[in-house]
Amino acid sequence: DTEVTQTPKHLVMGMTNKKSLKCEQHMGHRAMYWYKQKAKKPPELMFVYSYEKLSINESVPSRFSPECPNSSLLNLHLHALQPEDSALYLCASSRLGLVPSNEQFFGPGTRLTVL
């Protein structure tokens, strides 16, 4: 298995809802990432987990809460989001934790719309 999978593909939620995004990889990678991508913009790093521990939080608002239950799974819990949080949320993984030549492999993303 050489891919990163993400569910759901699309998600529409209200500002009072609580939802979760899920990411899974079975490549034995020990680093996993959440990115946010707005239309016609590059991906913006949100969180990095290395060996199941949160290594980087790019000053993301607390309404986004990441979780790494094990080395294969990464969740992003969403609560009280704003319409401006609507974006494509990308998960990525890499073989080694946080080293320079670290190839990151991206999933297809979850298209999130906040009403």
What is the binding site for another protein (CB under 8 A)? 4, 40-43, 45, 48, 50, 55-56, 90, 92, 98-109
Closest contact distance (angstroms) between CB of 92 and another protein is 8
Taking the C-alpha atoms of residue 79 and residue 114, their distance in angstroms, rounded to an integer, is: 11
Minimum CB distance to another protein smaller for 67 or for 105 = 105
Taking the C-alpha atoms of residue 72 and residue 1, their distance in angstroms, rounded to an integer, is: 12
Closest contact distance (angstroms) between CB of 15 and another protein is 25
CA dihedral (91, 92, 97, 102) positive or negative: negative
Closest contact distance (angstroms) between CB of 102 and another protein is 7
